[in-house]
Amino acid sequence: MNPFLLAANTPEPDARLLPLLRTNPSLASEQDAHGYSLLHAAASYNHVDLLRTLTNEFNVDVNLRDEDNETCLFVVETVEAAKCLVEELHVNVGAQNDDGMTAREKFESEGEFPDVAAYLAQGVAVSSEIAGSDDLQNGHPPPLPPSVKLNLDTVTDQTEAEINAQEPDPEFRRRIEELASRENFHTEEGQRQLRELITDAVRDVSHDEHESQRRRVG
Protein backbone atom coordinates (compact mmCIF):
# COMPACT_ATOMS: atom_id res chain seq x y z
CA MET A 1 0.00 0.00 0.00
CA ASN A 2 1.65 3.22 -1.22
CA PRO A 3 1.02 6.07 1.26
CA PHE A 4 1.77 8.71 -1.37
CA LEU A 5 -0.95 7.36 -3.66
CA LEU A 6 -3.40 7.23 -0.76
CA ALA A 7 -2.66 10.84 0.12
CA ALA A 8 -2.91 12.05 -3.45
CA ASN A 9 -5.61 10.07 -5.19
CA THR A 10 -8.01 8.98 -2.46
CA PRO A 11 -11.04 11.28 -2.05
CA GLU A 12 -10.99 10.73 1.73
CA PRO A 13 -7.41 9.65 2.45
CA ASP A 14 -7.70 9.69 6.24
CA ALA A 15 -9.78 6.51 6.40
CA ARG A 16 -7.12 4.32 4.78
CA LEU A 17 -3.94 6.30 5.36
CA LEU A 18 -4.18 7.16 9.05
CA PRO A 19 -4.35 3.55 10.30
CA LEU A 20 -1.21 2.87 8.26
CA LEU A 21 0.59 5.91 9.71
CA ARG A 22 -0.43 5.09 13.26
CA THR A 23 0.97 1.62 12.82
CA ASN A 24 4.20 3.05 11.44
CA PRO A 25 4.46 6.78 12.36
CA SER A 26 7.80 7.21 10.61
CA LEU A 27 5.99 6.98 7.27
CA ALA A 28 4.38 10.37 7.92
CA SER A 29 7.58 12.27 7.22
CA GLU A 30 9.03 9.99 4.56
CA GLN A 31 9.98 11.40 1.15
CA ASP A 32 10.42 9.66 -2.16
CA ALA A 33 13.50 9.86 -4.36
CA HIS A 34 12.49 13.36 -5.48
CA GLY A 35 11.74 14.66 -2.01
CA TYR A 36 7.99 14.39 -2.56
CA SER A 37 6.22 13.98 0.78
CA LEU A 38 2.75 13.27 2.12
CA LEU A 39 2.52 16.97 2.90
CA HIS A 40 3.13 17.82 -0.75
CA ALA A 41 0.52 15.30 -1.85
CA ALA A 42 -2.07 16.52 0.66
CA ALA A 43 -1.46 20.16 -0.26
CA SER A 44 -1.66 19.50 -3.98
CA TYR A 45 -4.94 17.58 -3.71
CA ASN A 46 -6.52 19.96 -1.19
CA HIS A 47 -6.71 17.45 1.64
CA VAL A 48 -6.61 20.08 4.38
CA ASP A 49 -7.60 17.73 7.19
CA LEU A 50 -4.69 15.49 6.28
CA LEU A 51 -2.37 18.51 6.32
CA ARG A 52 -3.50 19.27 9.86
CA THR A 53 -3.12 15.67 10.98
CA LEU A 54 0.35 15.23 9.51
CA THR A 55 1.57 18.43 11.13
CA ASN A 56 -0.25 18.36 14.46
CA GLU A 57 -0.47 14.64 15.24
CA PHE A 58 2.63 13.27 13.54
CA ASN A 59 4.77 16.40 13.95
CA VAL A 60 5.84 16.49 10.31
CA ASP A 61 7.79 19.66 9.54
CA VAL A 62 5.42 21.83 7.52
CA ASN A 63 8.47 23.34 5.77
CA LEU A 64 9.71 19.99 4.48
CA ARG A 65 11.49 20.55 1.13
CA ASP A 66 11.58 18.46 -2.04
CA GLU A 67 14.46 18.11 -4.48
CA ASP A 68 13.70 21.57 -5.93
CA ASN A 69 13.87 23.05 -2.43
CA GLU A 70 10.11 23.63 -2.50
CA THR A 71 7.76 23.25 0.45
CA CYS A 72 4.22 21.99 0.11
CA LEU A 73 3.04 25.61 -0.28
CA PHE A 74 4.53 25.56 -3.79
CA VAL A 75 2.07 22.88 -4.93
CA VAL A 76 -1.21 24.15 -3.47
CA GLU A 77 -3.97 24.74 -6.00
CA THR A 78 -6.67 26.25 -3.79
CA VAL A 79 -6.93 29.19 -1.44
CA GLU A 80 -8.39 26.83 1.15
CA ALA A 81 -5.21 24.75 1.30
CA ALA A 82 -3.04 27.88 1.24
CA LYS A 83 -4.95 29.39 4.16
CA CYS A 84 -4.61 26.19 6.15
CA LEU A 85 -0.86 26.13 5.62
CA VAL A 86 -0.36 29.83 6.26
CA GLU A 87 -2.81 30.75 8.99
CA GLU A 88 -3.08 27.47 10.89
CA LEU A 89 0.14 25.58 10.30
CA HIS A 90 2.44 28.60 9.85
CA VAL A 91 4.33 27.49 6.76
CA ASN A 92 7.11 29.85 5.73
CA VAL A 93 5.64 31.94 2.90
CA GLY A 94 9.04 33.52 2.32
CA ALA A 95 10.76 30.22 1.55
CA GLN A 96 12.55 30.23 -1.82
CA ASN A 97 13.11 27.35 -4.20
CA ASP A 98 16.27 26.61 -6.17
CA ASP A 99 15.23 29.28 -8.70
CA GLY A 100 15.15 31.90 -5.97
CA MET A 101 11.36 32.27 -6.10
CA THR A 102 8.77 32.11 -3.38
CA ALA A 103 5.58 30.14 -3.92
CA ARG A 104 3.72 33.31 -4.84
CA GLU A 105 6.40 34.35 -7.32
CA LYS A 106 6.38 30.90 -8.88
CA PHE A 107 2.60 30.98 -9.34
CA GLU A 108 2.81 34.44 -10.88
CA SER A 109 5.67 33.54 -13.22
CA GLU A 110 3.85 30.45 -14.47
CA GLY A 111 0.46 32.13 -14.64
CA GLU A 112 -1.11 29.45 -12.46
CA PHE A 113 -3.57 29.65 -9.58
CA PRO A 114 -3.90 33.45 -9.59
CA ASP A 115 -6.31 33.37 -6.63
CA VAL A 116 -3.69 31.60 -4.51
CA ALA A 117 -0.99 34.05 -5.64
CA ALA A 118 -3.27 36.97 -4.80
CA TYR A 119 -3.92 35.55 -1.34
CA LEU A 120 -0.22 35.11 -0.66
CA ALA A 121 0.43 38.67 -1.82
CA GLN A 122 -1.98 40.23 0.66
CA GLY A 123 0.48 40.38 3.50
CA VAL A 124 -1.83 38.52 5.90
CA ALA A 125 0.55 35.58 6.02
CA VAL A 126 3.01 37.02 8.48
CA SER A 127 2.48 34.17 10.92
CA SER A 128 4.01 31.72 8.47
CA GLU A 129 7.15 33.83 8.35
CA ILE A 130 7.31 33.72 12.11
CA ALA A 131 7.12 29.95 12.44
CA GLY A 132 9.40 28.97 9.59
CA SER A 133 11.99 31.66 9.03
CA ASP A 134 15.64 31.06 9.83
CA ASP A 135 15.76 34.47 11.45
CA LEU A 136 13.26 33.39 14.08
CA GLN A 137 15.16 30.22 14.81
CA ASN A 138 18.26 32.34 15.41
CA GLY A 139 16.40 34.64 17.75
CA HIS A 140 15.94 37.53 15.33
CA PRO A 141 12.61 39.29 14.72
CA PRO A 142 10.63 37.99 11.72
CA PRO A 143 10.35 39.65 8.30
CA LEU A 144 7.51 42.08 7.73
CA PRO A 145 4.97 42.58 4.91
CA PRO A 146 6.18 44.43 1.81
CA SER A 147 4.25 47.56 2.83
CA VAL A 148 6.21 47.82 6.09
CA LYS A 149 9.91 48.12 5.35
CA LEU A 150 11.96 47.46 8.46
CA ASN A 151 15.12 45.40 8.31
CA LEU A 152 16.17 44.58 11.86
CA ASP A 153 18.84 42.07 10.88
CA THR A 154 20.97 44.49 8.88
CA VAL A 155 20.19 47.71 10.68
CA THR A 156 23.73 47.95 12.10
CA ASP A 157 25.14 48.01 8.57
CA GLN A 158 22.94 50.86 7.38
CA THR A 159 23.40 54.59 7.52
CA GLU A 160 21.11 56.63 9.71
CA ALA A 161 19.41 58.10 6.64
CA GLU A 162 18.65 54.61 5.28
CA ILE A 163 17.28 53.52 8.62
CA ASN A 164 15.03 56.54 8.87
CA ALA A 165 13.83 55.99 5.31
CA GLN A 166 12.85 52.43 6.12
CA GLU A 167 11.38 53.07 9.54
CA PRO A 168 7.83 54.47 9.34
CA ASP A 169 7.29 54.51 13.09
CA PRO A 170 9.93 54.29 15.87
CA GLU A 171 7.24 53.14 18.30
CA PHE A 172 6.37 50.25 15.98
CA ARG A 173 10.03 49.26 15.84
CA ARG A 174 10.29 49.38 19.63
CA ARG A 175 7.24 47.16 20.04
CA ILE A 176 8.59 44.63 17.51
CA GLU A 177 11.91 44.42 19.33
CA GLU A 178 10.18 44.13 22.68
CA LEU A 179 8.05 41.23 21.47
CA ALA A 180 11.04 39.50 19.91
CA SER A 181 12.95 39.64 23.19
CA ARG A 182 10.23 37.96 25.24
CA GLU A 183 10.53 34.35 26.31
CA ASN A 184 7.07 33.55 24.94
CA PHE A 185 7.89 34.90 21.47
CA HIS A 186 7.94 31.38 19.98
CA THR A 187 4.67 30.39 21.62
CA GLU A 188 1.17 30.62 20.17
CA GLU A 189 0.43 33.62 22.40
CA GLY A 190 3.60 35.39 21.30
CA GLN A 191 2.78 34.79 17.65
CA ARG A 192 -0.78 36.02 18.21
CA GLN A 193 0.50 39.28 19.69
CA LEU A 194 2.92 39.74 16.80
CA ARG A 195 0.19 39.09 14.22
CA GLU A 196 -1.97 41.72 15.88
CA LEU A 197 0.89 44.21 15.84
CA ILE A 198 1.66 43.55 12.17
CA THR A 199 -2.03 43.75 11.23
CA ASP A 200 -2.32 47.14 12.92
CA ALA A 201 0.82 48.36 11.17
CA VAL A 202 -0.36 47.23 7.74
CA ARG A 203 -3.76 48.82 8.36
CA ASP A 204 -2.12 52.11 9.33
CA VAL A 205 0.17 52.09 6.30
CA SER A 206 -2.73 51.31 3.97
CA HIS A 207 -4.78 54.11 5.54
CA ASP A 208 -1.96 56.63 5.13
CA GLU A 209 -1.43 55.63 1.51
CA HIS A 210 -5.16 55.96 0.82
CA GLU A 211 -5.30 59.40 2.42
CA SER A 212 -2.24 60.54 0.49
CA GLN A 213 -3.75 59.35 -2.78
CA ARG A 214 -7.09 60.99 -1.96
CA ARG A 215 -5.40 64.33 -1.32
CA ARG A 216 -3.54 64.12 -4.61
CA VAL A 217 -6.72 63.32 -6.51
CA GLY A 218 -8.61 66.06 -4.68
Extract long-range pairs of 158-167: CB within 8 Å, 24+ residues apart. none
Name the CA radius of gyration of the chain, rounded.
Answer: 19
* Gap between the Cα atoms of 18 and 110, Å rounded: 34
End-to-end CA distance of the chain: 67
Residues 8-65 pLDDT 10s: 765 667 677 888 899 999 999 999 999 999 999 999 999 999 999 999 999 999 999 9
Q: Which of 61-70, 107-116, 122-131, 191-200 has the lowest mean pLDDT?
A: 122-131
105: closest CA among 117, 92, 123? 117
Are 96 and 102 within 8 A, CB to CB? Answer: yes
Longest CA pairwise span in the chain (Å):
67
59: left (phi over 0), alpha (psi -120 to 50) or beta: left
Q: Where do the domains of the chain lie, and which CATH numbers do they carry? A: 1-123 (1.25.40.20), 133-218 (no CATH)
Are 168 and 151 within 8 A, CB to CB? Answer: no
Instruction: List beta partners, residue 37.
Output: 31
Most confidently modeled of 9-23, 163-177, 191-205?
9-23
Residues 124-168 pLDDT 10s: 444 444 444 444 444 444 444 444 444 444 434 444 444 344 445
Q: What angle do CA 43, 55, 179 make, to 5 degrees?
A: 110
Counting Cα atoms < 13 Å in the Cβ hemisphere of 58 gives 25
